[in-house]
Amino acid sequence: MNKIFRRIVSLLLVSLSMSTLSCGSKYSFPKSTDAELETVLYIGDYEVPFEQYRYFFMNFKSAVDGGDDAYWNDADAAESFASIDADTKSSLRRCYAAFSLADDYGIKYDGKDIARTVDGEVEEYIENEFGGVDAYTSGLTENYMNHSVFRFVLTQFEVESQLYSALVDDGKIRTDGEAVLEAVKNGEFCCAKQVLIKNDVGDDVEENRRLAEQVLGQARIGVDFDELIAQYGEDPEMIVNPTGRYFTRGELIEEFETAAFALEVGGISDVVESPVGFHIILRCEIDDGYVSENLATLGESYVTSVFWRMIDERAETLDVRTAPAWDRLTMADFAYDAKTDEK
């Protein structure tokens, strides 16, 4: 059960949903309250209910405070709230952009076919993963969700799947190997190594920063980069890909990706800070043999990148406006039983 939710949570930080569909399931579920359904945002022509906003907000909040509400007694609480709110709005806008783009291709998030598919998926989760409605409802609550939000998670996935197929059929996304080779030639891929100093819970961030600066200093005077990775690095990908990781735009953490693409081959970045920690990056030359041997894998990354870039472009056209209910929100409104540790 928890593995499923961790997968959904990771996917949902780049996608989610809208208001409330009627559900034709054979089960009965607790209904969303009036407060949960109250509109807090407008994204383009879409209304965002509080329950949707809360889901994103609580996941970002958990990443900041680790489940410790005492964090919000700190003097910086207002700044943290604003940062989480900004991340929440950005993520929601990206989600609604998928619905907006899908609508161009006649794919309706509230259509009967999608609703029937989602109903069936909900029942499969209940029967095969939870063993009953009570366990299902409890599992949702532990993950800052309710039945309405979970249905829209599944709706989002189904819409994205149909949208992807429509874009391929329309020729907007090419999936052939030649398209991938052209992307490599045109600089759409990068190969890089990194020394990652992670900021784990409880770490002294400034101490990690100082260590990263020391590692950078060693790299700049010519210490072998692979030796620095072996001694200091905390990125398991460097073990899996010792000759460098290949990636395209929009695939990795923004701060890392931006710095890597900005380097010349053989160049070493300054210390790059991201939500994960501190990165020292070496850009490597792309090996044609590797590309040929891994064309299918690189192709999957590339078409996914193109797909999300199209959604991002649509997101840029959607304005985000707050409703009166948003102005009344306080941390007390987010009191919600949910997990505070991994199980």
Burial class of residue 321 (count of CB atoms within 10 Å of its CB; 0-12, 13-18, 19+): exposed
pTM of the model: 0.77
Angle, CA of 123, 125 and 127, to the nearest 5°: 65
143 and 339 Cβ atoms separated by less than 8 Å: yes
What is the number of other CB atoms lying within 10 angstroms of the CB of residue 297?
11
23 and 29 Cβ atoms separated by less than 8 Å: yes
| Structural domains of the chain in order of their starting residue, each with its CATH number | 2-172+307-334 (no CATH), 178-293 (3.10.50.40)
Angle, CA of 128, 10 and 84, to the nearest 5°: 130
Q: How far apart are CA 23 and CA 261, in angstroms?
A: 46
Which residue is it, tokens 């009953």? 132
Residue-level pLDDT at 11: 46
What average pLDDT values come out for the chain (343 residues) when binned by 10 residues? 42 39 65 93 96 93 82 79 92 94 94 92 92 90 91 92 95 92 95 96 93 98 97 95 94 95 98 96 97 94 94 96 93 65 37
Q: How far apart are CA 291 and CA 181, in angstroms?
A: 8
Q: How far apart are CA 255 and CA 196, in angstroms?
A: 13
Dihedral sign of CA atoms 120, 125, 127, 128 in order: positive
Q: Could you tell me which of 5, 303, 316 has the C-alpha nearest to residue 150? A: 5
The pair of three-digit structure tokens given for residue 249, joined into one six-digit string: 């735009």
Residue 316, CA distances (Å) to 12, 57, 94, 309 in order:
19, 21, 9, 11
238 and 220 Cβ atoms separated by less than 8 Å: no
Q: How far apart are CA 208 and CA 198, in angstroms?
A: 8
Residues making up the chain, counted from first to last: 343
Strands 39-43 and 46-49: antiparallel
